[in-house]
Amino acid sequence: MSGAPLDVAAIAAWIVRVPSLTLDGRRPTPESLAKRLARYWLADEAVLYIGKATSLRARLGQYYSTPLGDRRPHAGGYWVKTLTKLNSLTVHYSELDAAADPGDVENRMLRLFAQAVPRRVRAAHPQPSLTIPFANLVVTGVGQRNHGIRHAVPRG
């Protein structure tokens, strides 16, 4: 799995939890889904997800209380929950002044991240034009990942 620290047991539980989940239109095995996720792993990057929140305490509480595969209370960055090292990760944050638009700042950070990824790494990435942190799936105005995973978090 290209050195990606993926938790196949967590991925298997996700597949069971979400019967609608498909990979390229078919029901995946834990191994096939892990292999697909691993394609997006950037081994030399420390940033796994860039997000925004109006209350960091509330957002982290929501994030950690949302099981992999559930939409609520907050499903953003859910690919992080497929990692074996989830409990050893560190959250870094920065406060914005009141005039800043959090969505614009998030988008700018994602673009800056992509620009900082070495050219050779971007070239080997499944989507070189969208080389973003592992758990980010969309960059406004740029595009979304074409990972083939569908219905991973049920509508509701």
Residue 1: what pLDDT? 44
47: its two tokens: 């940033």
pLDDT tens digits, 68-84: 999 888 888 899 999 99
Domain chopping of the chain, boundaries: 8-150
Classify residue 44 by burial, with Cβ atoms within 10 Å: 0-12, 13-18, 19+.
exposed
Rounded Cα distance between 154 and 150, Å, is 9
Yes or no: say if 140 and 103 are a contact pair by the CB < 8 Å rule: yes
Which stretches in the chain have pLDDT values below 70?
1-2, 156
Is 45 in a helix, a strand, or coil? coil
Residue 156: what pLDDT? 61
Q: For the range 21-30, what are the long-range contacts, defined as Cβ-Cβ under 8 Å and sequence gap of 24 or more?
A: 21/69, 21/149, 21/150, 21/151, 21/152, 22/149, 22/150, 22/151, 23/148, 23/149, 23/150, 24/148, 25/150
Does the pTM exceed 0.75? Answer: yes
Classify residue 135 by burial, with Cβ atoms within 10 Å: 0-12, 13-18, 19+.
buried
Is 139 in a helix, a strand, or coil? strand
Residue 2: what pLDDT? 57
Cis-peptide, bond into residue 128, ω within 30° of zero: no
Question: What phi and psi, each to the nearest 5 degrees, are found at residue 119?
Answer: -55, -40
